[in-house]
A and B are shown apart, each in its own frame.
Chain A
Amino acid sequence: MPRVIVDVMLKPEILDPQGKAVRAALTRLGYTGVADVRQGKRFELTLAEDPTAEALDAIGQAAATLLANPVIEDVVSIRLEAGSAPVPHPGSTPVLDQAQ
């Protein structure tokens, strides 16, 4: 099934305490070459069918409305995975549905 990947990052000027903590842990582990870490979010939207241009536009709007808060975050990329057909993890989707 086609899949759209949306990446969201905190705006560069927004402090990222989580990224700072990750960087400190990397330094403790001996990875001293890392100057900075910023932590973001990746959303994978699996679609029922190949999206039209309008459907992709709608996803762009959804990303800017819900997936990211434009006050503190940027949607840095929205891309359709070419020929994406992820192998379904046994039981993962039905279990999630039941949990709702």
Chain B
Amino acid sequence: MRVGIVGSGVMAEVHAAGWRSTGAELVGCTSAHLEQAARLAERFGFEVYPSYGELLKAVDIVDICVPTHLHKAMVLQAAGAGKHVICEKPIALSVRDGQEMIEACERAGVRFFVAMVVRFFPQYRLARELVTKGQIGKLGVMRLKRVSYPPQKSDDNWYFDEARSGGMVVDLMIHDFDYARWLGGEVERVFARLSRSADGVGRYAQVILRFKSGPMALIEGGWAYPPGVFRTALDLAGTDGLIEWSSDEHGPVRSFVLHRPGEAASVGLPVAGLAEDPYALELQHAYRCIQTGAPFEVSAQDGLEALRLALAARESIATGKPVSL
């Protein structure tokens, strides 16, 4: 099948590399940033399309890697054109928008995959597998960490604009909201606090989730570290055992190089192992399911429920009170 990418930033580049491992035909991209798009096209040997409409005509699947506030209109347009959709997380900025997008794709009979990539990281998958096999008994307290650095943009940093990105709690922490829900099921109560820098940007948040089935979770998220530092960790404690993992632990290969300032990627991405790139695994899975008609392991509804948790956390931050769901 033919695939086109919308966007030319960090995620577009990561996805383009991932698509090369799927067997799909990557025909091109479209972007508001022509120079950036031209560089991407040169690297991956595909075309730059002048508009989203033109790209849609040329593909079977569109992969939307643009700022979050643009997701809804693009997904609706793709559904209207009868094209399958891969969409970067977060699905949207409001639950209602996400619902509309899911319904539009259902009505149009196209597949809609929200790229919740953490579900494709091998350590997170294995940890869940061990939990579901009962290796640590009944889940008690989950601790999930995802603390990175502020996204670096030379102009118009849309990440810092909550109206376009949802802010750090929505953009970054949604991964762990989804993962926690994957393990703990539905959430009963959310309490959260957020520290902002003087410019008003949310930089560091701590969220407590209480699940209907009993467990609790502490989710820590941040755009807080110096550029280049991205730390993730999970700690799952149950009645019969414990699973611990941290990105601080030594990997199979450690490199010691001199870093110059400004060398950090513009947006922090967690590093996985050597062989399996989770972004490639994610796209391989989505592509296989679109081809075969099999259900996705992570549904657009899951993406929406994670957004619901992120928005509840934001509400708790705003009101200073726990939010019941």
Chains A and B come from one and the same complex: no
